[in-house]
A = this chain, B = another copy of it.
Amino acid sequence: MESIVAGIVAGIGGLLALGYAGLLTRDVLKQSPGTKLMADISRGIQVGAAAFLKREFRYLSVTTVVTALLLGIFLSWPGAVTYIIGSLVSFMAAWIGMRVSTRANARCTNLALKSFKDAFKAGFSSGAVMGMCVVGTGLLAVAVIYTITRDVHLLVYYAFGSSLTALFLRVGGGIFTKSADVGGDMVGKVEAGIPEDDPRNPAVIADAVGDNVGDVAGMGSDLFESYVSALIAAMFLGYYYKYNPTYASLMLLLGAAGIVCSIIGALLVRVGKGEQESFGAQTKKVRSAMSRGIILANLVMVITTFFLVRHIVGDMNVFFAMVAGMVAGVAIGWINQYYTSDSYSPVKHIAKSSETGSSTLIIEGFAQGMLSTVIPVAIVAAAIVASYQWGGLFGIAVAGFGMLSVLGVNLACDCYGPIVDNAAGIAEMAGLPHEVRRRCDALDSVGNSTAAIGKGFAIGSAALAALAWLATYMQAAELKIIDITKPDVMAGLLIGGLVVFLFIALTIKAVGRGAYRVVNEVRRQWQEIPGLREGKAKPDYAKCVDITTRAALREMIVPGTLSIVTPVLVGFFLGREALGAVLMSSLTVGLFMSLFMANSGGAWDNAKKYIESGAYGGKGSNSHKAAVVGDTVGDPFKDTAGPSLNILIKILGKVAMVLAPLLLALM
Contact = CB atoms under 8 A, between A and B. Distances in A.
Copy number of this protein in the oligomer? 2
A393 B505 contact: no
Contacts of A481: 481, 483-485
A51 interface: no
A260 interface: no
Contact of A512 (B363, B378, B497, B636): B363
A502 B370 contact: yes
B508 A367 contact: yes
A512 B629 contact: no
A377 B484 contact: no
Interface in A196-230: none
A362 B632 CA distance: 10
B482 A484 contact: yes
Contact of A359 (B474, B484, B519, B633): B633
Contacts of A519: 356
Contacts of A491: 381-382, 384-385
Interface residues on A, range: 35 or more
A190 interface: yes
11 contacts: A186-B356, A190-B357, A353-B512, A358-B358, A368-B505, A370-B505, A374-B501, A381-B490, A388-B487, A396-B487, A497-B588
A498 B384 contact: no
Interface in A442-485: 467, 471, 474, 479-485
Given A370-B504, A381-B494, A485 B482 contact: yes
A271 interface: no
B484 A580 contact: yes
Contacts of A12: none
Contacts of A485: 393, 471, 474, 479-482
A364 B498 CA distance: 18
A296 interface: no
Contacts of A474: 485
Nearest to A577: B484
Interface in A328-369: 353, 356-360, 362-364, 366-368
A592 B497 contact: yes
Contact of A367 (B363, B505, B591): B505
Contact of A494 (B190, B368, B482, B588): B588
Given A378-B498, A501-B596, A484 B367 contact: no
Contact of A588 (B488, B511, B585): B585
A153 interface: no
A524 B487 CA distance: 57
B364 A512 contact: yes
A322 interface: no
A495 interface: yes
A290 to B, nearest CB: 30
A527 interface: no
A269 interface: no
A385 B512 contact: no
Contacts of A471: 485
